[in-house]
Amino acid sequence: MSSSRPGFRHPDLAPNEAGYTIKDYEGGASTLCAGCGHDSISRAIVQAFFESNVPPHQVAKISGIGCSSKTPAYFLGKSHGFNSVHGRMPSIATGANMANKDLVYLGVSGDGDTASIGAGQFIHVIRRNLNMIYIIMNNGCYGLTKGQDSATADKGSISRKGAPNLLESIDLCEIAIQMGASFVARGFSGDKQQLIPLIKAAIRHKGTAVIDVISPCVTFNNTPQSTKSYQWVREHSEATGTFDFIPLQQEIVASYNPGEIAAITLHDGSIIHLHKTAEDFDITNRRKSLDALEEAREKHHILTGAIYVKPDGQDTHDLLSISDRKLNSLDKEDLCPGNSVLQDINDQYR
């Protein structure tokens, strides 16, 4: 265990509007390497859920396999968690969401989990627009098996193994947009100021909210020549804009110059304010979002922040016309047509 947190907290910790203190959103001690980007993301998740006033037991956290997928043990300790099998988090999340549409589903995955073994599941959960938050802790390498390049490692990037990666990299944000994702963002584990509001917006978004978080692997992929290192990301990061998240019914107090602000209203009435850096960037325009990603790629920049948002989409339940009631709450009276109907059915087979 390399990272530990003191158990003591101030007795008068301020609760959030749901009546929970920050401690209620924390989890067990991390067993990841000291300085791992993933631990910063875990802390951002804790903060975002606390600030969003989501009761912890109303969250289901689901992951695949890998360093990233271990993290659900390190946050939201009062939530049910499911560390499933490699690359298959999206299908578990799909089933869970179908059973009870009223919980918040937080999927955590890594770049191996999402871009390689689970590429199919990643693509198809987006196509279903499952109402969930899909966080990828993206470090460009396989940590638990000691540093092999992953499919998001940039071409030419050099990890601790020393040889440059020769294969094309997969841009998960671009794929997500192409597959019809309704919320796509990129964060950096070293920039919590940007990441926390992104996660908060993702919580309120209805549909699949993909956040690809560049999260350096301090042990295997933090070399100066790695494009997933702390140094590289800090030097090459280019944000779509400063990002504010205004939860539902909260008064908008910020007074920015309206000409520079794009306001996007989410399904539940929450508002995203984006202080744009580029004049013509419109994050609700799929083509422009893809262009922005490609332009940044050409410049060897990493585009961060909210990249694409389609606020009024239909999720899986809407698309398949599934009952508004929680399917796991239905009993015999709701589900079983009874013997007399069965006798009528028999008659059709005579």
Is-contact 67 110, C-beta < 8 A?
yes
Indicate if the alpha-carbon torsion angle 295, 38, 192, 173 is positive or negative: positive
- The minimum distance between CB 188 and other proteins, in angstroms, equals 28
Min dist. Cβ of residue 157 to other proteins (A)? 29
Smallest gap from Cβ 100 to other proteins, in A, equals: 5
The strand pair at 132-138 and 208-214 is best described as: parallel
User: Which amino acid would we find at residue 169?
Assistant: S
Select 103 or 246, whichever has its Cβ closest to other proteins.
103
CB of 2 vs other proteins, minimal distance in Å: 16
Residue (57 or 155) nearer to other proteins, CB: 57
Shortest distance, CB of residue 253 to other proteins, whole angstroms?
31
CA 121 to chain centre: 15
CA angle in degrees (0–180, nearest 5) for 68-70-74: 105
Nearer to other proteins, 175 or 309 (CB): 175
CA distances from 293 to 173, 194, 308 (A): 8, 18, 10
* Spatial distance between the Cα atoms of 158 and 156, rounded to a whole number of angstroms: 6
3-state SS string for 213-256: EECCCCCCCCCCCCCCCHHHHHHHEEECEEEEEECCCCCCCCCC
Comparing CB distances to other proteins, the nearer of 115 and 195 is 115
Toward other proteins, which CB reaches closer, 128 or 310?
A: 128
CA 133 – CA 89 distance, rounded (Å): 12
Closest CA to 40 of 192, 146, 163: 192
Q: Which residues sit at the interface with other proteins, rule CB under 8 A? A: 55-58, 60, 62, 72-73, 77-85, 88, 90-100, 102-103, 120-121, 123-124, 128, 316-317, 320-325, 327-328, 330-332, 334-339, 341-343, 345-346, 349-350
Closer residue to other proteins in complex, CB, 279/347: 347
Q: How far is the CB of 314 from other proteins (least distance, A)?
A: 13
